[in-house]
Structure 1
Amino acid sequence: MALSRTDMPLNDLRQYAPDLPEPPDLDDFWSRTLAEARAAGSSAQLEQVSGPIQELIVEDLTFPGFAGDPVRAWITRPKGEGPRPAVVEYVGYGGGRGLAGEKLAWAAAGYVHVLMDTRGQGSGWGTGGDTPDPHGSGPATPGYMTRGITSAAEHYYRRVYTDAVRLVDHVAEMPFVDRERIAVTGGSQGGGIAIAAGALSPQVRAVMPDVPFLCDFPRAITQTPQPPFTEITRYLSVHRDEVDAVLTTLSYLDGAILARRIQVPVLFSVALMDEVVLPSTVFAAFNAVPAADKEIEVYGFNGHEGGAFWQWHRQVEWLRERF
């Protein structure tokens, strides 16, 4: 059995369950946040895209997210009558939704695939994004992790998680979607967002995070050797008096805390040689999920690429058994 090069042995990982303190108003915080977003936003707009993809339907979705802000997404789906199960996917750190038709696998497998743009991102890799983040923050290090870092109400990921849940709200209302069969997925940052969506949205019926980021912040910011967690480490090396405030803020956003609220089936993946998202932080979230139907795929000799398309094959098999 492979051992983690960056963290702890696999047998220890399977037992790892940190006692992360939970804010007493966590549920109220997210209930208020989502209620405010739903009150601020109205209907979504959907426009069919013309282009080289001819055997699938590709649509450009604009929906109201946090504070009613317009957020973009691609919908790619098979032709023919519905409703069909849907897979909502969130993007990794720094990336955007890219160009129409870039991601066809889920639609080719018979699902409605919805790919959310991440507000303010889209210029770090890939082919771009289309969603601005109109909200500012106080002093921050380069990147997204420390934007609004001293207040959960102001933090960047409060807005992103809200976008993710609001997207599921709108997907559930689409006539070509079977609202009883909606799954969420994503890799790295997208996996962390999927955990949040699975915890906060009653419409989600399955959660499939791959090498999920944004989990077990207390360990991640002290032990992870690679960015983006080191953005927080660097911030605290300057703002030496803000450690308690920062950890409090992050406790509202921590996937290993939010995962305690996931009651639907989950399929995680983890890579034991990952230096961007430590395996222990993934297991912290996975082990916190109370759902009886939960599995984790372990890639012993991979880094942050995880299982890549191998894992997609596993997801299709797993999801078809449940949907």
Structure 2
Amino acid sequence: MTEDRPEELTEYSLSALMAAPPAPEEPADFDDFWHATFAEFGTGAVPWRRTRELDATATHHVSEVHFDSSAGEQAVAYLLVPHAPSSARRGLVVGHGYGGRSGPDLDRVPADTAAIFPCAPGTHAGTPSRFPSPPDEHVLAGIAHRDTYSHRFAAADIWRAATVLLEIAPSASDTLDFSGGSFGGGIGAMALPWDARFRRAVLDVPSFGDHGVRLTRPCTGSGEAVRLHLRAHPQVRPVLGYYDAASAARRVRIPTLVSAAVLDPAVDPRGQFAVYHALAGPRRLSVRAAGHLDGATGLLSDRLALQDGIDFLALPDERLA
């Protein structure tokens, strides 16, 4: 992290990580809170408009769209729709890491798929937001109360992005999937239980899993800002109980692939595996050598995880048994 404080590269044994931990403590009204949040932000029409056409690919029209965010501002998303929209057999909502995004990941989207890549509130450079964009600030924005925390609106905008996508490509309504990594993986876990439109999910090195464990260890990711903040403001710890990806995963019943790393300086591997162990439905595990790591090993791990996710979403239903 600095010359006098090297990166925390603790590597856990796979056998230890495969032992399911106790479920995180959670608020008694966890379900009520999230059902109410979905009722407020996840239902009904979502106004949107195309703001810019981007270079098309051989298979898709590509555009930038703005839609009404749950945060009361304009959200940015990138949209890929097959040249013949009615030919879209599958839909895909793609979350992003805490680095944000400035465009779509074209290699994630098969020819038969309509996809939307929403930017979480505050994470799109140049777009006005009440949330700050730096990860160490965004992860603390609104943390004083469960209703104002930035992660509530990030999860809600996953639902709203799905609404926009299905308005454009209704033929994909029965085959809507989610894929997200790191920040997007943790936010996806929080969003998925409450929205019955999703068919499958891929969560790659998901963050925010098992805060009770996650906050015990220094890291290079946004968790470090939270850990240090709680030292000065311990009264906000109960808020995190509503935003634990492992608690939310206990309610995820759709087939889900988790790619979890045994070594990760940014997202504690124990939290990643906690998300996998908590899943209530059909689940698959892809073990990564490393997550959030620069260099050849990190790049190879990223590429393998990406392909695992693409393959999982493309599997015929009968192969999931």
Instruction: Give the structure-1-normalised TM-score.
Output: 0.84
Q: Is the aligned partner of 1:194 residue 2:200?
A: no
* 8 Å contact kept, 2:211–2:244: yes
* 8 Å contact kept, 1:171–1:177: no
Q: Report the Cα distance in structure 1 between the residues aligned to 2:59 and 2:182, rounded to whole angstroms.
A: 30
Q: Report the Cα distance in structure 1 between the residues aligned to 2:283 and 2:76, rounded to whole angstroms.
A: 31
Deviations 1:50-73 (A, max 9, x none): 536465201222222215432111
Match of 1:120 in 2: 122
Q: 1:322 to 1:263 in 2, by over 3 A?
A: farther
Q: Is the aligned partner of 1:69 residue 2:73?
A: yes
1:114-263 to structure 2, matched below 5 A, reads 114-122=116-124, 129=125, 131-134=127-130, 142-237=136-231, 239=232, 242-243=233-234, 245-263=235-253
Please identify, of 273-282 and 51-60, the stretch whose mean Cα deviation from structure 2 is larger.
Answer: 51-60
Instruction: Say which SS state the counterpart of residue 297 (structure 1) adopts.
Output: strand
Match of 1:90 in 2: 95
Q: Give the CA deviation at 1:7.
A: 4.9
* 8 Å contact kept, 1:119–1:133: yes
Q: Report the Cα distance in structure 2 between the residues aligned to 1:54 and 1:9, rounded to whole angstroms.
A: 44
**Counterpart of 1:35 in structure 2: which amino acid?**
A
**Counterpart of 1:110 in structure 2: which amino acid?**
D
Q: Give the CA deviation at 1:109.
A: 4.3
Deviations 1:208-263 (A, max 9, x none): 011011211121111143221110122123x2xx32x3221001011000011101
2:25 to 21, 31, 35: 21
**Counterpart of 1:19 in structure 2: which amino acid?**
A
Q: Is the aligned partner of 1:287 residue 2:277?
A: yes
* 8 Å contact kept, 2:121–2:131: no
Q: Is the aligned partner of 1:30 residue 2:34?
A: yes
* 8 Å contact kept, 1:89–1:115: yes
**Counterpart of 1:310 in structure 2: which amino acid?**
L
* 8 Å contact kept, 1:141–1:234: no
Q: Give the CA deviation at 1:41.
A: 6.7
Long gaps (5+) in structure 1 = 123-128
Q: Is the aligned partner of 1:264 residue 2:254?
A: yes
**Counterpart of 1:14 in structure 2: which amino acid?**
M
Long gaps (5+) in structure 2 = 1-8
Instruction: Say which SS state the counterpart of residue 109 (structure 2) adopts.
Output: helix
Aligned length: 302
Q: 1:189 to 1:177 in 2, by over 3 A?
A: farther
Q: Is the aligned partner of 1:304 residue 2:300?
A: no
Q: Report the Cα distance in structure 1 between the residues aligned to 2:60 and 2:209, rounded to whole angstroms.
A: 36
Q: 1:275 to 1:72 in 2, by over 3 A?
A: same
Q: 1:200 to 1:168 in 2, by over 3 A?
A: same
Match of 1:8 in 2: 12
Q: 1:53 to 1:288 in 2, by over 3 A?
A: same
* 8 Å contact kept, 1:184–1:208: yes
Q: Report the Cα distance in structure 2 between the residues aligned to 1:207 and 1:52, rounded to whole angstroms.
A: 26
* 8 Å contact kept, 1:40–1:67: no
**Counterpart of 1:82 in structure 2: which amino acid?**
S
Q: 1:226 to 1:298 in 2, by over 3 A?
A: same
Please identify, of 37-46 and 173-182, the stretch whose mean Cα deviation from structure 2 is larger.
Answer: 37-46
* 8 Å contact kept, 1:73–1:114: yes
Root-mean-square deviation (CA, aligned residues, Å) is 2.6
Instruction: Say which SS state the counterpart of residue 310 (structure 1) adopts.
Output: helix
**Counterpart of 1:299 in structure 2: which amino acid?**
R
Q: Report the Cα distance in structure 2 between the residues aligned to 1:210 and 1:260, rounded to whole angstroms.
A: 17
Q: Give the CA deviation at 1:142.
A: 4.5
Q: 1:317 to 1:64 in 2, by over 3 A?
A: same
**Counterpart of 1:304 in structure 2: which amino acid?**
H
Match of 1:126 in 2: none
Instruction: Say which SS state the counterpart of residue 180 (structure 1) adopts.
Output: coil
Deviations 1:142-187 (A, max 9, x none): 4222222221111111111111122223323333541111111111
Instruction: Say which SS state the counterpart of residue 261 (structure 1) adopts.
Output: coil
**Counterpart of 2:118 in structure 1: which amino acid?**
M
